[in-house]
Structure 1
């Protein structure tokens, strides 16, 4: 049944933070590996949603593959859209009914037995317990009779997962709904807008993608002369599309998305205002064959390179920091034919350039 006005008051007070803390307590594992956990009773393991005592799944962890940063680290591609960010949190499959009951009931009991837990906080805990045990509605969420154990194996409780790469703790905690049930093969209720989707997975793959640390080929190489055109290019053979895939695969729920980054342009920044770039904007577009710029060849020393630069003064005893930033066009495809565009990405590297004066002999 729905929560009446007085009970809503209880839930909308500062105890909401307590309820979130308890919800988080039950979710200690959503960022942990989605691997069977041995309960010590033997008999092998059981997939998520089963929970018959032979094993449980800690959570539906996102599996990354392709060109992604190691150890779950954030990749090196920066979005060109300053207003776009990967999701700070989401809801994902968590535990089957029996395993959820075991974990949640233990957490609630532990909190209720904490000294000094009474008053409004204790009442809120009671509401939470009734929600999962006595089919008591929680705001817009229907209640569950005995933690839905009669539907064990036919669905899962979903729960909030924080994005560990999100620096803002308030954003990480913004998925504050308590765990809710989803039948196998069904979509989560529409009010859970942050429920994991292929599009969210695509954004997370974007966040973890690792672009190649490709240095621009220069001629002359690391040492050039004042007023001498320096040619710059990237060979298509070592400079192509990069893909990263993010996936969730548990019984009754299997989705994935692949994010593809394709290089489209190169921007040169000489590291000093005393220089010219070719083209004047410093932006070199990709050629029809997938390369950028044109390799230098004998006899082109005094020609204007289609992509390159010219230094107008010496670097003295030091060097100039030439920055080469590649812009990548990004799109994604996912389960069910979903797909679309994501913001362009940028990744730049720097190279030390020594610029020498041309020595002339006066007679």
Structure 2
């Protein structure tokens, strides 16, 4: 069997190349074993939004030799795979793979290009040539005839793609069915068939959240037993959104996922400290801010959000961790929408704590 597989990033798109064997094509190898799945019953109502599938002009565009996810992202999007993704607070992960439709022309061009490139590559192994030939025969002269060109207006080919942010996740190989034909408005019959909700979950993975560096008073250097005020200004601390869209194979859907900050958790970096409030969790104020800025005249007050260190950090620093919890919701095509698991996103900043015999306020 030829273990020919590749993944290539293209901006916010993922390229998914198929792996071949002499009897079938699979999405990948996991622990040295072939991973195959059997189509099941789709979990969502189909079509995912009324009037979005069927009687759509077929496009002849293709990306030679690869199956590229047509999902695009806009809004507060992380650059490539850079940055830190939102971390769900529950045992939940965004989808690692899904199935998308392709027009007859796109799928035909993909298979023919792959076949030609493999056959004409100098030194290519005979078993690889045989495998790609058998794969091509399924759609050209075997189970299907000439890629179903005579039915181009009546349906689409559905293919597996992977979430570009989940390429290292073994679950990304679960979408391992051969490309299959689906008539317009028919249920594809696989749980991972792309829907607005799947797009919303993929957008969850793509969100770029703002930095969570907390403003402190005193800043960077404080004193033992001196209350340190902490706050996040609403102008730098606001909700963000990412929209994921798919227009391919007669399917035109989208979903917008929005992250709204709801609380800040302070972890002092040492047990020799007290937090305000005692839980260390500072909730959102009515105006969208968290905590309260320090000002002259507040020295004798207890901060609504803050820390008091009880021991010096010596020659080093304490690592204050500030973690924001974000409430995640989504809305999509056909009026779909709902909530996704809350997410967290945090950073660490160094705080130097000095001894002081007395503090003048």
Which one of the candidate residues 104, 109, 128 is aligned to 1:97? 104
Does the 8 A contact of 2:25 with 2:178 survive in 1?
yes
My pick for the range that moved more, 341-350 or 159-168, is: 159-168
- Name the CA shift for 1:282/1:151 in 2 (closer, same or farther; >3 Å): same
Q: How does 1:15-94 map to 2 (within 5 A)?
A: 19-21=24-26, 49-51=58-60, 55-56=61-62, 59-73=68-82, 75-81=84-90, 83-94=91-102
Q: How does 1:227-242 map to 2 (within 5 A)?
A: 227-242=225-240
How well do the aligned residues superpose, as a CA RMSD in angstroms? 3.2
Which one of the candidate residues 292, 295, 301 is aligned to 1:294? 292
Distance in 2 (alpha carbons) for counterparts of 1:261 and 1:103: 37
Distance in 2 (alpha carbons) for counterparts of 1:122 and 1:153: 31
- Name the CA shift for 1:351/1:109 in 2 (closer, same or farther; >3 Å): closer
Does the 8 A contact of 2:115 with 2:132 survive in 1?
no
- Name the CA shift for 1:182/1:295 in 2 (closer, same or farther; >3 Å): same
What per-residue deviation string (whole Å, max 9, x for no partner) do you get for residues 201-224 of structure 1? 111111110110031111111121
SS at match of 2:25: helix
TM-score with structure 1 length normalisation? 0.75
Question: How many pairs does the alignment contain?
Answer: 308
Distance in 1 (alpha carbons) for counterparts of 2:131 and 2:311: 75
Unaligned runs of 5+ in 1: 1-14, 25-46, 137-143
Does the 8 A contact of 1:19 with 1:124 survive in 2?
no
Distance in 2 (alpha carbons) for counterparts of 1:221 and 1:17: 65
Structure 1 equivalent of residue 200 of structure 2: 202
What per-residue deviation string (whole Å, max 9, x for no partner) do you get for residues 186-239 of structure 1? 25422x111111111111111110110031111111121111111111111221
Q: How does 1:1-363 map to 2 (within 5 A)?
A: 19-21=24-26, 49-51=58-60, 55-56=61-62, 59-73=68-82, 75-81=84-90, 83-94=91-102, 96-104=103-111, 107=114, 117=127, 131-133=138-140, 136=143, 144-168=144-168, 170-184=170-184, 186-190=185-189, 192-250=190-248, 252-360=250-358
SS at match of 1:71: coil
- Name the CA shift for 1:213/1:98 in 2 (closer, same or farther; >3 Å): closer
Distance in 2 (alpha carbons) for counterparts of 1:236 and 1:329: 16
What per-residue deviation string (whole Å, max 9, x for no partner) do you get for residues 107-147 of structure 1? 568879976649xx979975x556424563xxxxxxx3321
Unaligned runs of 5+ in 2: 1-19, 30-55
- Name the CA shift for 1:103/1:316 in 2 (closer, same or farther; >3 Å): closer
Does the 8 A contact of 1:74 with 1:208 survive in 2?
no
TM-score with structure 2 length normalisation? 0.75
What per-residue deviation string (whole Å, max 9, x for no partner) do you get for residues 257-311 of structure 1? 1111111111101111110001111111111221111222222212111111101
SS at match of 2:111: helix
Distance in 2 (alpha carbons) for counterparts of 1:153 and 1:245: 29
Higher RCO (C-alpha 8 Å, min separation 6): 2
Distance in 1 (alpha carbons) for counterparts of 2:125 and 2:353: 73
Does the 8 A contact of 1:48 with 1:57 survive in 2?
no
Does the 8 A contact of 1:48 with 1:56 survive in 2?
no
Shift of 1:167: 4.9
Please state which structure has a larger fraction of its residues in helix.
1
Distance in 2 (alpha carbons) for counterparts of 1:134 and 1:352: 66
Shift of 1:75: 4.4
- Name the CA shift for 1:116/1:197 in 2 (closer, same or farther; >3 Å): same
Please state which structure has a larger fraction of its residues in strand.
2
